[in-house]
Amino acid sequence: MTRKTPQVEEPSEKELVVENGPKSWAAGVPGVYHSMKPAIEQMGLNRTRKTVMAMNQKDGFDCPSCAWPDPHHRKAFEFCENGAKAVTWEATPITIPSSFWAEHPVSELRSRSEYWLGMQGRLTEPVYKPAGEDHYKPVSWDEALRIVADKLKGLDSPDRAAFYTSGRTSNEAAFLYQLLVRGYGTNNLPDCSNMCHESSGWAMGQTIGIGKATVSFDDYANADLIIIMGQNPGTNHPRMMTELENCKHNGGEIVAVNPLPEAGLRRYKNPQQVNGVIGHGVQIADQFLQIRIGGDMALLQAVSKRVLDAEARKPGTVLDHAFLAEHCEGLEELKEHLARLDESAVLEATGLRSEDIDELAARYLKAEKVIITWAMGITQQKKGVATIKEIINLLLLRGNIGKPGAGASPIRGHSNVQGDRTMGIWEQMPQSFMEALGKEFDFEPPREHGTDAVETINQMRDGEIKVFVALGGNLVAAISDTNAAEAAMENTEMTVQISTKLNRSHAVTGREALILPTMGRTEIDIQESGPQFVSVEDTVCAVHPSWGSVEPVSHQLLSEPAILSRLGKLLVGTKIKADWDGFEKNYDLIRDHISRVVGGCEDYNQRIRQDGGFVLANGPRDSRTFPTPTGKAVLTVNDLEHVQRPAGTLILQSMRSHDQFNTTIYSHNDRYRGIKKGRHVVFVNPDDLAELGLADGQYVDIRGVYEDGEERVVRKFRVVSYPTARGCAAAYYPEANVLVPLNHTAEGSNTPISKAVIVRLEPSLDQAPDSAPPVSAGAARP
């Protein structure tokens, strides 16, 4: 393949354009145009046809952009704007040449932006940076893997290493990875889920016995009411919009709870339908509750209280008594607790009016089938776990779990983050899993819990963890407290990144560092036994195969299962009974083990091949069986608390723009929020601006208000007057991660509180655009 050169255009500060306020609708013709143009420009028509148009087809690959499920009756081409961007980013024919490493020292890569790094193209050969040197240099696969294995073998305990996973990893690779890590001897398996839906897993595990959604795909269109909390589906789960539209079409109602009036939650123009492309689209939300950040727990308690009050007025008519009696416990305690709920505290926490909450309660009471969905606005909060327990309370009161058209629906982020957990990527896998694993491979797995993402950074900072291996992702940029995280990463002896593209975690490294390039999901994977597929699990527990559809960008690339088989052979070898060579040749062998170790995956090889896969059993959803210690679903009592904001401060959330995938920046635009050519912005309510004496368009420094002696500040962000909830502000992730203290985490789940940082906005000394040095040098390579 001829090498194409990357075109990296980084806008300067003065180019930033702020259009008038948020867009009132999502998708439509611009959606199609914005994603197809770069695809065709970069890949040409043929590769675009084989990628963008093959995604989510039964014989194609699973879209790497999000965990939203596939419809049973797939259209020839289910268009998704952000799916197309993700695929173009991965399947680009632009590659990094061998000469790149001599031309660009690591210290230079460190001064580059995420955007610049990602735009350099695909990684194609293993590279190694020896201690004390400032350059990576190409090495052979054998040498690279030997360096890693020797280093790990030399540590005084396997717990001196940590093995991170990001959620694009397939089930097969995830299973092999946890096997080699446990075979080596540690449970230090932090993953992106620790920063994502961990709060959902905890809350649901403790209340209904399973940390996964209790809905299936068809339920969305059949619900009477869908309440969407702390989620921006128009950007982050665009294909969900079709199901929301179907729900409305069938007479259902939709309520959005969000501090921001997000475009997709207002009106949606379906790019699949002619009337969506040219007409006004469908109004999505019947009610929009513009909540204060962190107010959801109070809102949910207030709605549950209204449900209980309605029951008290007309006994026997409101609650699902049969369901509560047979399947639940804790009703009396909940009643007693909510009887004391203070409405004024609710109004303060939520910033809403009583009438708005009455209206939501009336909609809830009218509906026979209710789904509540949520994402990061709920999980990345100090009270995230308790808030999700309140979601479960509200659903249980009227039997909205385990019946068609109803249920609890955390919407996962990464396309296989849920499958990775099912396969054993968790620092706290239950003992039953360890026993099955030990029996299957004839060894004694480590039993002590390992480190999660935050604890891994803490232990790297303290010098306890000396080697960091990552199967995908970009931990140093994704985790909170960027300066602390970077210092921790640099304090290690070795970092190893298995990646498709360059990112910050390749530039902020341990003393020795390796990059092991891997094939992506879009690429055809041929091994000794023939073409291979991998498998993934979506947000509603459906497991299906994923087949690559384009030629790999380089024949030097190894697949993730191949890299892990080879590393496993060197590091663990015959210490456990595993056919490492066989795994690489034929992924069926890996799946045979999965069948015997992972509950619910019996006959995996056969079931994954039948009609596009199978759905994992789910007790609460399928039969109202709750695998809790008592066998009942638990209504819980949670003490109300909300985010306190000292005078003169704001509550800052950090969120995704329309043109990024987590730490990967596709462009500097955020079309739905009216931002062009810039990301250093902070959205603030105009009344707050007036109160704080700040002006729209002014430059401010954002300072975290924490008294732990650390200075956390980002400089020269442009203020954008924006209709967010009062007292709240928003900036983009990962730029704002500097401001989130590392040990500022959700109770129970230890997830960084990325959605509620207390900050002060201080006018920047320098108000002239471009007079300060830019954040990154950002020049294009000739």
Residue 256 phi, psi dihedral angles, 5° rounding: -110, 135
CB of 196 to Mo ion, least distance (A): 3
Q: Tokens 């706290």 identify what position?
A: 428
- Work out whether 475 is an interface residue with ligand MGD (CB under 6 A): yes
Among 18, 94, 196, 725, binds Mo ion (CB under 5 A): 196
- Work out whether 285 is an interface residue with ligand MGD (CB under 6 A): no
When the beta carbons of 196 and 346 are compared against Mo ion, the nearer one is 196
Alpha helix ranges (H) inside 685-778: 686-692
Residue in 701, 720, 717 with CA at minimum distance from that of residue 763: 701
When the beta carbons of 323 and 733 are compared against ligand MGD, the nearer one is 733
Q: Tell me whether residue 339 is exposed, middle or buried, using C-beta atoms within 10 angstroms of its C-beta: 0 to 12, 13 to 18, 19 or more.
A: exposed
Question: In whole angstroms, what is the distance from residue 163 CA to residue 169 CA?
Answer: 13
- Work out whether 499 is an interface residue with ligand MGD (CB under 6 A): yes
Question: In whole angstroms, what is the distance from residue 266 CA to residue 263 CA?
Answer: 5
- Work out whether 82 is an interface residue with ligand MGD (CB under 6 A): yes
What is the enclosing helix (H) or strand (E) of 82?
A: helix 81-91
When the beta carbons of 407 and 413 are compared against Mo ion, the nearer one is 413
Among 83, 413, 568, 727, binds Mo ion (CB under 5 A): 413
- Work out whether 472 is an interface residue with ligand MGD (CB under 6 A): yes
CB of 661 to Mo ion, least distance (A): 10
Subset of 508-527 contacting ligand MGD (CB under 6 A): 518, 520-521
> How many of the chain's residues bind Mo ion (CB under 5 A)?
2
ω into 763 cis (within 30 of 0): no
Q: Which residue is nearest to Mo ion (CB)?
A: 413
Site string for ligand MGD, 7-46 (x = CB under 6 A): ----------------------------------------
Question: In whole angstroms, what is the distance from residue 64 CA to residue 97 CA?
Answer: 25
CB of 322 to ligand MGD, least distance (A): 32
Strands 681-684 and 728-732: antiparallel
- Work out whether 373 is an interface residue with ligand MGD (CB under 6 A): no
HEC string of 495-543?
EEEEECECCHHHHCCCCEEEEEEECCCCECEEECCEEECEEEECCCCEE
Tell me the C-alpha to C-alpha distance, in Å, between residue 135 and each of 98, 105, 393, 516, 536.
12, 5, 55, 15, 36
- N-term to C-term CA, the chain: 20
Check if the beta carbon of residue 619 is closer than 8 Å to that of residue 720.
Answer: no
- Work out whether 539 is an interface residue with ligand MGD (CB under 6 A): no
Among 754, 758, 759, 761, binds ligand MGD (CB under 6 A): 754
Q: Tokens 């590659």 identify what position?
A: 95
Rg (C-alpha) for the chain, rounded Å, is 25
When the beta carbons of 57 and 200 are compared against ligand MGD, the nearer one is 200
Check if the beta carbon of residue 668 is closer than 8 Å to that of residue 659.
Answer: yes
Structure tokens that stand for 196 in this block: 């994502």
CB of 258 to ligand MGD, least distance (A): 5
When the beta carbons of 258 and 576 are compared against ligand MGD, the nearer one is 258
When the beta carbons of 346 and 478 are compared against ligand MGD, the nearer one is 478
Question: In whole angstroms, what is the distance from residue 14 CA to residue 16 CA?
Answer: 5
> Which one of Mo ion, ligand MGD, none interacts with residue 754, CB within 5 to 8 A by kind?
ligand MGD
CB of 192 to Mo ion, least distance (A): 6
CB of 430 to ligand MGD, least distance (A): 23
> How many of the chain's residues bind ligand MGD (CB under 6 A)?
61
Site string for ligand MGD, 157-186 (x = CB under 6 A): ---------xxx------------------
Neighbours of 529 (CB within 10 A): 13
Please identify, among the stretches 51-59, 309-317, 736-744, 760-768, the one whose residues bind ligand MGD according to the rule CB under 6 A: 736-744
Q: Tell me whether residue 617 is exposed, middle or buried, using C-beta atoms within 10 angstroms of its C-beta: 0 to 12, 13 to 18, 19 or more.
A: middle
CB of 421 to Mo ion, least distance (A): 12
When the beta carbons of 196 and 502 are compared against Mo ion, the nearer one is 196
Check if the beta carbon of residue 535 is closer than 8 Å to that of residue 419.
Answer: yes
When the beta carbons of 196 and 284 are compared against Mo ion, the nearer one is 196
Check if the beta carbon of residue 247 is closer than 8 Å to that of residue 221.
Answer: yes
> Which one of Mo ion, ligand MGD, none interacts with residue 308, CB within 5 to 8 A by kind?
none
Site string for ligand MGD, 420-459 (x = CB under 6 A): ----------------------------------------
- Work out whether 235 is an interface residue with ligand MGD (CB under 6 A): yes
Close Cβ partners of 765 (under 8 Å, ≥ 6 residues apart): none
Under DSSP, the state recorded for 718 is E
CB of 190 to ligand MGD, least distance (A): 10
> Which one of Mo ion, ligand MGD, none interacts with residue 235, CB within 5 to 8 A by kind?
ligand MGD
Among 42, 95, 187, 232, binds ligand MGD (CB under 6 A): 232
Check if the beta carbon of residue 200 is closer than 8 Å to that of residue 208.
Answer: no
What is the binding site for ligand MGD (CB under 6 A)? 65-66, 82, 166-168, 192, 195-196, 229-232, 235-237, 257-260, 262, 291, 293-294, 296, 375-377, 380, 413-414, 471-475, 478, 498-501, 503, 518, 520-521, 560, 653-656, 660-664, 733, 736-737, 740, 754-755
What is the binding site for Mo ion (CB under 5 A)? 196, 413
